[in-house]
Amino acid sequence: MSVRTRENRRRRPGVAAVNRPPRFDRRVEHRRVRRAAHVELSQMTEPEDLALPVPVNTSVKADPSERPERTVARRRFKVWKTKDWKRRSTNRAERAATYEALLKGA
């Protein structure tokens, strides 16, 4: 694990055991939140009063004109991440193309 990964994990509370509150405190806090939600739901008179906001990741299809514009990033072939036996065919194809270009030029 890299140093950067360790530092990022230490900074986020709840991920690393260093910043994580004790188990008892987490259980008490979770119960308090559940209890508050239960009380709110029991006191609700109109369902529209506590309507949740529309989620972003719905399965409803959006109109193409309303979608934000996206630019597609072209994926490049990363030699340093690919094993040699995986890129062997690419290297052979490049070598063959170079050889064909030399034959046509001669």
Single-letter amino acid, residue 76: R
Q: Is residue 61 part of a domain?
A: no
Q: Is residue 63 part of a domain?
A: no
Instruction: Using the CB atoms, write b or e for 73-87: b if 16+ within 10 Å.
Output: eeeeeeeeeeeeeee
Cut 0.75: pTM above it:
no
Same domain, 43 and 8: yes
In whole angstroms, give the CA distance from residue 18 to residue 11: 9
3-state secondary structure at position 58: coil
Same domain, 1 and 37: yes
- CB-count burial class (<10 Å; 0-12, 13-18, 19+) for 9: middle
Q: Is residue 68 part of a domain?
A: no
Which residue, 3, 26, 5, is CA-closest to 14?
A: 26
Q: How far is CA 82 from CA 27, 36, 76, in A?
A: 46, 52, 12
| pLDDT reported for residue 40 | 84
pLDDT tens per residue, the chain (106 residues)?
688 887 877 777 666 566 677 889 989 999 999 999 898 888 888 777 666 666 666 666 767 777 777 777 777 767 677 777 766 777 788 888 999 999 888 6
Same domain, 45 and 3: yes
Same domain, 1 and 43: yes
Same domain, 3 and 46: yes
Angle at 37 between CA 36 and CA 40, to 5 degrees: 85
Domain count, the chain: 2
Q: Is residue 19 part of a domain?
A: yes
Q: Residue 41: which domain range?
A: 1-50
Q: Is residue 1 part of a domain?
A: yes
Asked if 90 and 98 count as a contact pair (C-beta separation under 8 A), the reply is no
